[in-house]
């Protein structure tokens, strides 16, 4: 029996690397996959290639789709595509809306998938909590999407494009993803590690007390994706699914920093609460996009990691590396 094929778009990014690592560690041959990933930066990071030698790597320009033909030829039609690639820094999206739209709306990818004769690949697409307006707590999936910045608008456009042009998809509206560093360290600053660094140096730092999110532990996001893959592989039922992917706790940046300080024993007086409205970040940011995750928990029979436990595991991984 042929192994099922999983293609991770943006496999050299933060979530992509964690997902590839987990998929590559499945030991049961009946449950393992042939895996491939795409990367925008060339060449792909060597530590990742060394750690996961069985994964095929393909350069890809998501805007034009240049590189997808090579995937077809060397890997074939994937059973599952997980799209982790995005221009996800809100300020960068604000500065260059055209780039945000062309990268974040996966039109070339969807067109490529529809070119296969058997058009039955499951697309798992990473969206964001920033599709919500941010004027109340605990948004549900059916709430109206009214993004306040270009990043959120590009992600809403992506969701609409997928709904219109795909018949088998799961869209995951993820909150801030945090957790341990990747096999090949990513250039972007990781939130918990950054807080640990500044508080550990004894620096006094300002944190927002009035912006709320439901940060989600990276290994939970990986588990959610693997559960969706297994449902599709085992049942083969079409899905058209939207899920809020957040952790169980609604926290501000102050709460996040206090959790780090509590675990590490840092002085909490270093944490200076300020209002998000007092800082000009060059982009509007929604105030409260905490999410109701009842549907996620019910659909996949899954309970995400409490924030304090995820932070503890993240810091323990940093100490052990």
Mean pLDDT value across residues 86-90: 93
Q: Report the distance separating Cα 313 and Cα 236, nearest Å.
A: 35
* pLDDT for the residue numbered 321: 57
Q: Each residue of 192-215: pLDDT tens digit?
A: 999 999 999 999 999 999 999 999
**Residue 194 is encoded by which pair of tokens?**
């950054």
* Gap between the terminal Cα atoms of the chain: 39
Burial 106-141 (b: 16+ CB within 10 A, else e): bbbbbebbeeeeeeebbbbbbbbbbbbbbeeebbeb
pLDDT at 265 over 90: yes
At 320, the pLDDT band (50, 70, 90 cuts) reads confident
Write the CA distances from 44 to 48, 58, 85, 93, 313, integer angstroms: 8, 9, 14, 24, 28
Q: Each residue of 103-151: pLDDT tens digit?
A: 999 999 999 999 998 888 999 999 999 999 999 999 999 999 999 999 9
pLDDT at 1 over 80: no
pTM exceeds cut of 0.85: yes
Q: Report the distance separating Cα 79 and Cα 120, nearest Å.
A: 7
Closest-CA residue to 20 (of 2, 6, 30): 6
pLDDT at 30 over 90: no
Mean pLDDT value across residues 228-238: 92
Mean pLDDT of the chain: 95
Domains of the chain: 4-180+215-248+291-309 (3.40.50.720)
């Amino acid at each position: 029996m042929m192994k099922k094929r999983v293609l991770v778009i943006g496999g050299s990014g933060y979530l992509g690397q964690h997902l590839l690592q987990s998929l590559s560690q499945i030991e049961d041959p009946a449950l393992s996959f042939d895996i491939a990933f795409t990367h925008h930066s060339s060449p792909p990071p060597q530590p990742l290639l060394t750690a996961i030698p069985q994964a095929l790597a393909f350069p890809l320009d998501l805007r034009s789709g240049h590189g997808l033909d090579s995937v077809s030829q060397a890997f074939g039609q994937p059973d599952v595509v997980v799209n982790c690639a995005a221009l996800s820094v809100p300020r960068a999206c604000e500065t260059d809306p055209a780039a945000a739209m062309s990268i974040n709306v996966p039109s070339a990818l969807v067109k490529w998938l529809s070119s296969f004769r058997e058009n039955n690949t499951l697309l798992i697409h990473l969206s964001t909590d920033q599709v919500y307006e941010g004027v109340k707590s605990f948004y549900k999936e059916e709430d109206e999407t009214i993004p306040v910045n270009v990043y959120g608008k590009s992600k809403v456009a992506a969701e609409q494009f997928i709904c219109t042009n795909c018949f088998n998809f799961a869209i995951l509206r993820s909150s801030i993803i945090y957790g341990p560093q990747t096999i090949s360290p990513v250039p972007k600053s990781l939130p918990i590690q950054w807080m640990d660094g500044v508080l550990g140096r004894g620096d006094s730092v300002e944190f927002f007390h009035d912006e709320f999110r439901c940060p989600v532990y990276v290994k939970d996001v990986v588990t959610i994706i693997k559960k969706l893959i297994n449902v599709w592989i085992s049942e083969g039922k079409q899905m058209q699914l939207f899920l809020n992917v957040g952790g169980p706790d609604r926290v501000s940046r102050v709460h996040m920093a206090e959790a780090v300080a509590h675990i590490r024993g840092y002085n909490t007086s270093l944490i200076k609460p300020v209002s998000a409205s007092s800082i000009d970040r060059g982009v509007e940011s929604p105030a409260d996009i905490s999410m109701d995750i009842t549907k996620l928990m019910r659909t996949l029979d899954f309970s995400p990691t409490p924030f304090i436990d995820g932070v503890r595991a993240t810091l323990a991984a940093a100490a052990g590396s």
